[in-house]
Amino acid sequence: MIHTPLAELPLRASMWKVVSLLFGLQVVPLFSQSICAQQTSTTALPSVASDDQVKSPEESLTRLLDRPYTLGLETSYTSSASFSPDSRRVITASQDNTARLWDVDPESPTYGKLLRTLDGHTSAVLVASFSPDGKLVITGSLDNTARLWDVDPTSPRYGQSLLRLEGHTDGLYCASFSPQGKRVLTSGRDNTARLWDVDPNSQSYGKLLRTLRGHTSQVVVAVFSPDGTRVLTGSNDNTARLWALEAQSAFFGKEFPGIGVGKTGYVLAASFSPDGRSMLTGTADNTARLFDADPKSTTYGKILVTLRGHTGWLRAASFAPDGKRILTASDDKTLRLWDADSKSANFGSQIALVETGQPITSADFSPDGSRVVLSSGTWNSNPAKSRGEVQIWHLHK
């Protein structure tokens, strides 16, 4: 069986329901409408509630809105959702060929409202993410292209498409900015990841800089290291690969020696720790794996710990902004939190579990560490029969 990411698999619709709450979260059901996490900052994450602090769902889940915020368009499956660098906005990617920009600043008079719809792709948009300064968004679509958008409210081109990146020969699954904001990384069905110049002051603006070839199946995820010198890719060929991106290096665009992922199944999620010294993968064998990514370490490239507990394929795996916790989400309809502090006696242990009621398509921390954004949905080849939901979870201090 040839795998396609969750955005292309039928899911059973279900209302979000928290069955188990172990880390003091408030859920804010922000949007209700019919796969590439952005690297987070190093802001400290609020501490996790201890067992004696845990309350029942009725006590803990204080709804900041009386009911889920329902969008006017209810036929749009949501494949990804991510925060802006200032944690005040969220960008979502949808099956209806659009991305949507939302106000999630609790202090704003337009809190929970749609700010802009980014319309221009001719097929489903599977990913959307912000630039480091929050003024741009990159989207990736099944129309084989990525698009750059102006999302600066002070700009005369606010909400408009600035650039179209063409070169992939099949649909895109992932698109993200480099930490400096001058490059974009895309990956998709054509078994490649590609590096693009999006620096408007560059002579090669909008041009393809490198094609990363080596995977033998769809490249589902591709992410930059925090310093922008490396790329981690994950593929349906059951491997994760590490690539060099130092422009002045003879190894620019070349693959580092293989990462020992083992026979794990499809690699569907990947991320670097905030300090770049660890790598994380989420796979179709229902586990996440933490690797040593420090070239100076004697265990470089080796698995440090395997996170076991999920009973379905992992769709998201990312670090908290302080690097001490890991967030995973799965087809088993659960969100889990893990101890990633190597100095902790609980290193590698599961420290939180939330059941959501339906499979999750994306999950990530806000850059300020105060919230988590989740997306889920029901995919149907007929967009009119699709449904999706995005929720914001508040992390209690």
Q: Domain for residue 1, yes or no?
A: no
The predicted pLDDT at position 248 comes to 65
CA–CA separation, 23 vs 374, rounded Å?
16
Q: pLDDT tens for residues 90-107?
A: 999 999 999 999 998 989
- Band of the pLDDT at 249, cuts 50, 70, 90? low
Is there a contact between 361 and 33 (Cβ–Cβ < 8 Å)?
Answer: no
Residue 120 located in a structural domain: yes
Q: How far apart are CA 392 and CA 362, in angstroms?
A: 12
Residue 315 domain-assigned (yes or no): yes
User: Which of the two residues, 343 and 54, has the higher pLDDT score?
Assistant: 343
User: Residue 160 belongs to what domain range?
Assistant: 6-395
Please count the structural domains in the chain: 1
Q: Is the pTM of this model over 0.85?
A: no
User: Tell me, what's the pLDDT at 382?
Assistant: 77
- Give the confidence band of 225 by pLDDT, cuts at 50, 70, 90: very high
Overall average pLDDT of the 354-378 stretch: 86
Per-residue pLDDT of 107-121, as tens digits, reads 999 888 899 999 999
Is 42 part of any domain? Answer: yes
Contact 90, 106 (CB under 8 A): no
**What is the average pLDDT across 373-395?**
79
Most confident by average pLDDT, 242-256, 313-327, 344-358, 379-393? 313-327
Question: 309-347, pLDDT tens digit by residue?
Answer: 999 999 999 999 999 999 999 999 889 999 999 899 999
Residues 227, 245 contacting (CB under 8 angstroms)? no
pLDDT, position 54:
32
Q: Which tens digits make up the pLDDT trace of 137-168?
A: 999 999 999 999 999 999 999 999 999 999 99
Residue 236 lies in a domain: yes
Q: Does a structural domain hold residue 56?
A: yes
Residue 111 CB contacts under 8 Å (≥ 6 apart), including other chains: 103, 104, 105
pLDDT at 253: 66
pLDDT band for position 247 (cuts 50, 70, 90): low
pLDDT band at 250 (very low <50, low <70, confident <90, very high): low
Instruction: Provide the CATH number for the domain around residue 341.
Output: 2.130.10.10
Give the Cα-Cα-Cα angle 264, 267, 270 (nearest 5 degrees): 125
Residue 122 falls inside a structural domain: yes
CB 373 within 8 A of CB 112: no
